[in-house]
Structure 1
């Protein structure tokens, strides 16, 4: 490899230092550990006495809790800064997994899920600090790397399958959740090294001050939309709708595959690994594509790909399932990377926390509705109906996106 080629590579990734480096390393730890129990999460709920509808209730409660703190999270991120919120809540999130590890019924999982939703008040601050730390010309690659660190998660389902095969589903899940606690605690300690990217408007808020801030946070999150391009609102609508139909199915893939299609737990672990592998293998090429051809085209392309992948999953069969998970992984990467890059391009740094909070609020509310409706449809109508709705929804979403989402003439710093 020539010296000039090496210099080009170093220049391409020269932004990986400071905050970006700390976040990437912490995500490696959290993704690898967290995706192990995620592999069999819904089956764990069933093992603890739940039903598919119970999975929907947990999903609904988690998303509503998550939605309830998004305005506040965005407001705190823009008013008091990002770092303190990220570090404190990462510790809280780590400890919440103890409830999952020692759960004796699905209702305990419900409590843990609600707490986790509340602790994720730091999400707007987390993505704002990432956005602030990326140079405009490297955002596509930067967000691609934030996804690519999950490449270590390719092994997570395989490890999970081995643990479940060795210890059984119940004990194996408890072991994996304890590993998740340790990984999240380590990530929380690492995040002490983050550097604040926004000068706070006020000092450290007290508990009562934070609670009093909530109405103002909601008002400012709506007010800020008046100074932003119309495309920001249109893009938010696309994200919310996509999120709702995705969550309608999210927790039921493993149940549908194992209980309806007859897939073994071992083959499910392989399918999960294939999904991660395809998603992360496409991450850098997609990131580069987003930087070169623009954000909108990959965003649009992700929708028909999602529809095709969902159709193949519904049909079942080893070949179609494997192909489905490959296509779905690529579509997920395209949508996520293009959406995040486009939102950052359109929104000035001082508004990002509130815009992220605004968008996440509605995404989580409608995601909660989607998860609950998905559970009802799965249990009381037919297991394939949630997936059919996800597939069909991509057509009108594509038309709306073509008509209403535009590239900015000038990208925000």
Structure 2
């Protein structure tokens, strides 16, 4: 693993992992500030819209001016989001913070391309799994700490403390990226070259137009992200309001998911490198509906814990498989734009699905958003099975 890959592994694990103090309880915090489920979906829409609007432009800049500037500045901007949340007294005050938080994902094409450039071709999925394993350490411990903190001091007071800790940690991670990352790629162009808007737009979408495998992957990821967007926002609401879990118990569930990640992500990465990308993505998409449906039938903490831990194992498999697949099908000069498309198209699904989930919950029933998620994942699996070809 090269220098940049190591620096990104550490700073991303710390700077983004600290967010697991607040993200498992974010929906409860918003609802406690007087918002409805529809408003919760609206905030998710703003977050997603900001992300998807800039994914392809950032991907284009990544392939044109290099990776480091975007990685450093994007992380710095995002680090101010928790401070906005800390000062909010009404749900409307959260909107500027939501926009700032979007920069965490806006610069994903630059981070992913820089990491991809620094790993060996034959160990790509394993390398991505390694950084995800470090990330899982935080996803295991932070929700447990956050859950017990909120139980002890209350939701609002506890979340404000969490926001301060998260903001400071993200600032320090941004400083680490600025000091230790090295630019290892920049697309050279003539100083007099001033491409037209039409040419820029055409170049942004060039990988999508020319790579058929990418087209299939994008459509499958879009369907799968419809499922993920609903699950991310409403599982934490369904667990206490329908199943009857406490905040601390949900924190333990999130911690159990993190523990599963620590134990399984490196072996999963090695298996993906050995058996291929297509079968890995297909396995993830096809098996998740079983656990999504089982979640709606759970009646207590133990059942939810086991179901969510098993679900997290299969939910994860598709992530390093897709990240490695992008490197397999896209040249180094295309990776920023390809990752931009991979983040933008599923991002559209992540943006609209929370509002769709709120509509189904309020108009049909609390379990129906999860039934919809299961169906979307099944359709994604069918698409991958029929149309995706394993890269040579």
Bin of the TM-score, shorter chain as denominator length: over 0.9
TM superposition shift of 1:179: 0.5
Give 1:159's aligned residue.
145
Q: TM-score, normalised by structure 2?
A: 0.94
TM superposition shift of 1:370: 1.0
- 124, 134, 137: which one pairs with 1:139? 124
- 129, 139, 142: which one pairs with 2:114? 129
How many aligned positions are there?
A: 387
Give 1:62's aligned residue.
47
Say if 2:321 is the partner of 1:334: no
Report the CA distance shift for 1:220/1:79 in structure 2 as closer, same or farther (over 3 A). Answer: same
Q: Write out per-residue CA displacement over residues 323-373 of structure 1, whole angstroms, 9 at most, x where no aligned residue.
A: 211111101221111111112111111001111112322211222111211
Q: Kindly indicate whether the alpha-carbon contact (under 8 Å) linking 2:223 and 2:379 is maintained by their aligned counterparts in 1.
A: no
Measure the CA separation in 1 of the matches of 2:9 and 2:299.
36
Give 1:265's aligned residue.
247
- 85, 90, 93: which one pairs with 1:105? 90
- 162, 166, 181: which one pairs with 1:194? 181
Measure the CA separation in 1 of the matches of 2:183 and 2:204.
21
Report the CA distance shift for 1:383/1:110 in structure 2 as closer, same or farther (over 3 A). Answer: farther
- 57, 71, 75: which one pairs with 1:86? 71
Report the CA distance shift for 1:381/1:203 in structure 2 as closer, same or farther (over 3 A). Answer: farther
Q: Write out per-residue CA displacement over residues 220-273 of structure 1, whole angstroms, 9 at most, x where no aligned residue.
A: 122233443x11211111112111221023111111111121111111111111
| RMSD, matched Cα | 1.9
Say if 2:277 is the partner of 1:295: yes
Say if 2:260 is the partner of 1:278: yes
Give 2:3's aligned residue.
18
TM superposition shift of 1:195: 1.4
Q: TM-score, normalised by structure 1?
A: 0.89
SS at match of 1:134: coil
TM superposition shift of 1:213: 7.8
TM superposition shift of 1:285: 0.9
Report the CA distance shift for 1:199/1:45 in structure 2 as closer, same or farther (over 3 A). Answer: same
Say if 2:303 is the partner of 1:320: yes
Structure 1 gaps of 5+ residues are 1-14
Q: Point out the more displaced range, 300-309 or 33-42.
A: 300-309
Say if 2:287 is the partner of 1:305: yes
Measure the CA separation in 2 of the matches of 1:389 and 1:98.
35
Q: Kindly indicate whether the alpha-carbon contact (under 8 Å) linking 1:74 and 1:217 is maintained by their aligned counterparts in 2.
A: no
Q: Write out per-residue CA displacement over residues 107-149 of structure 1, whole angstroms, 9 at most, x where no aligned residue.
A: 1222211232256431111111011111101101101012101
Give 1:10's aligned residue.
none
Say if 2:370 is the partner of 1:387: yes
Structure 2 gaps of 5+ residues are none
Give 2:156's aligned residue.
170
Measure the CA separation in 1 of the matches of 2:210 and 2:286.
33
